[in-house]
Structure 1
């Protein structure tokens, strides 16, 4: 009996070890894949720069220089404030609720409470309400760890020049997609020098599917509450 239990314990421990090893290998594979992808994107961006003196690529080169400058500004905000995720989410929510009256904001708050989401705000103004919503949403948003590591400089030395430049390329691609999908949100981020940091929260917005609804479209307070819940992954 004792030997049977010992064998079972050994098999269980081996299974746990195998599962941990499998997860580690998969995580390493994803990290390598991301690293190679960044290097490829960086090489492509650098290639465009080598063609700056040709008429065919002059506009591309000019755009890339602007994007590089905007990325540096975004990094400055990230390093100086460290609450950039809140800023990105809050900018979206501000635009979503800016035209609502206190009564309509109360209706949104009530709809969220029915979904067991409590928004704490001192006053029912669009400014304070959006800040309360953004703080709550940030608790639910899952961020890409590789992107956070790179832009915060934690793995900058390891990933190398082309890898870092690949992140700039991916940030630029993300910003361009946002400009097409939701021009108003893009413009609001641009004014805050944050549009090149949108790639940090893009996966959350894509999963939520909330950027198909423009701020200028007519939307009831319950529709706004639904968008907020989707961004939290509650729908």
Structure 2
């Protein structure tokens, strides 16, 4: 189970927060120390962390690099970072900080050639973020809706060496409403690459529903609200 769950650390102004359906006006702070959260996940034996620079997702460049650096020092497993990665240069900076995976979405929609160049330079290390809202891919920190469907985005990049996909159901993200498995089942029909799920997880039962469908699940609010007791996983 610990190899399947990927704890999320969402950063806003250096603090660990969660949003409700991606709404920056509905932010809840859970910790002022991302480093301490990373240490906890390390102690509990998790192998991978999902880190999001929320400020960076709006500005188009990483703004929480000091916090990301502290998380990297505290956690020995793999770290995937998303939020504001819109250039090859940003990937190089994160690479130098020891980050293994780059979660990229907006660039893939807006600047396909730059995205393909990024994947060429960092093969098997770019995770394509498919952020679905109302059946379309959202971009720019989830503030804008594109005309592209999740399936179209998958088919467009299936044959280049991305690591795989992070499919987020924005309509359920941060709601604790429970998981809807249907979008993930449908999406898996379009790719042979790994898919990570995100959005709506409220319990271990939700996690179990996704096992056998996707390769991993990003869990944030359910952990911070105590819906999933991580120590029980030990």
TM range, smaller chain? under 0.3
TM-score, L = length of structure 2: 0.21
Higher helix share: 1
Higher strand share: 2
Q: Relative contact order (alpha carbons < 8 A, sep ≥ 6): 1 or 2 greater?
A: 1
Q: Look at both structures and tell me which one has the larger radius of gyration over its CA atoms.
A: 1
